[in-house]
Chain A
């Protein structure tokens, strides 16, 4: 069946270092969403990308949607301790939303 693979599963960084998580879909997506889940919390919607090759920025976060609409990335520049959490991508396809398994980010001060 349709899958959305997300890597890495875990990432430990020193505060100030950059961080990137990648999502790959087995099929072409209509859109991709990114969520952030703080420890013990729920996924909070960050952004949705719809267009092929789209790039969006939110302060230190940069989101990209691949040209083929099968992959996406989230890049955080100069991580801070407040960035700690699990980042999920979710691919929209045929009206459904398929979640990746998430990348858990820890930041050492």
Chain B
């Protein structure tokens, strides 16, 4: 089946620095990728939809200047947490839609645990 790779799996950074997380579809082209955030013991929350070659669509309440999303190619989307603060510490996970299937099957990355000190 399709594989979505996410990197890094864990990152620790100092407050005020920026962190980039990559999401790659390894064996299919994904015109659309999604970024989610999960707080401890809570459900997944959709942050934004990343569209190849165009601007990302952000969900209500998500700061676009804080969470920069770039989808420069059909296999790569990146999420940059800018000027990270401790409250940005969370589990971030991406998914990519494989449009080869009739319904656009969704595949998830392994997630990235961000800890901001």
Asked, given contacts A97-B111, A98-B110, whether A42 binds B46 with beta carbons under 8 Å apart, the answer is: yes
A residues near B (Cβ < 8 Å) are: 1, 30-31, 33, 35, 37, 39-40, 42-43, 45, 48, 50, 86, 88, 90, 92, 95-99, 101-102, 104
Q: Give Cα A43 to B110, complex, Å.
A: 16
Interface secondary structure of B, over-half rule: strand
Q: At the interface with chain A, which of B14-22, B34-42, B64-72, B74-82?
A: B34-42
Interface secondary structure of A, over-half rule: strand
B residues near A (Cβ < 8 Å) are: 1, 34, 38, 40-41, 43-44, 46, 91, 93, 103-108, 110-111, 113
Q: Give Cα A50 to B42, complex, Å.
A: 11
**Nearest Cβ distance between residue B58 and chain A, in whole angstroms?**
14
**Complex interface: chain B residues within 8 A of A30 (CB):** 41
Top 8 closest pairs, chain A to chain B, by CB:
A45-B43, A39-B103, A99-B108, A97-B38, A96-B111, A42-B46, A96-B91, A40-B104
Q: Give Cα A30 to B105, complex, Å.
A: 27
CB of A48 within 8 A of CB of B91, answer no
Checking B1, B43, B106, B110 against A48 with a beta-carbon cut-off of 8 angstroms, the contacting residue is B43
**Nearest Cβ distance between residue A44 and chain B, in whole angstroms?**
9
Q: Name the residue of chain B whose CB is nearest to the CB of A42.
A: B46
CB of A86 within 8 A of CB of B91, answer no
**Complex interface: chain B residues within 8 A of A95 (CB):** 40, 91, 113
Asked, given contacts A96-B91, A96-B111, A97-B91, whether A33 binds B43 with beta carbons under 8 Å apart, the answer is: yes
Checking A33, A43, A97 against B106 with a beta-carbon cut-off of 8 angstroms, the contacting residue is A43
CB of A48 within 8 A of CB of B41, answer yes
Given contacts A39-B104, A98-B110, 18 further A-B contacts (CB under 8 A): A1-B110, A30-B41, A40-B104, A42-B106, A45-B43, A45-B44, A48-B41, A86-B103, A88-B108, A92-B41, A96-B91, A97-B44, A97-B93, A98-B111, A101-B107, A102-B105, A102-B106, A104-B103
Q: Name the residue of chain A whose CB is nearest to the CB of B42.
A: A48
Q: Give Cα A43 to B108, complex, Å.
A: 11
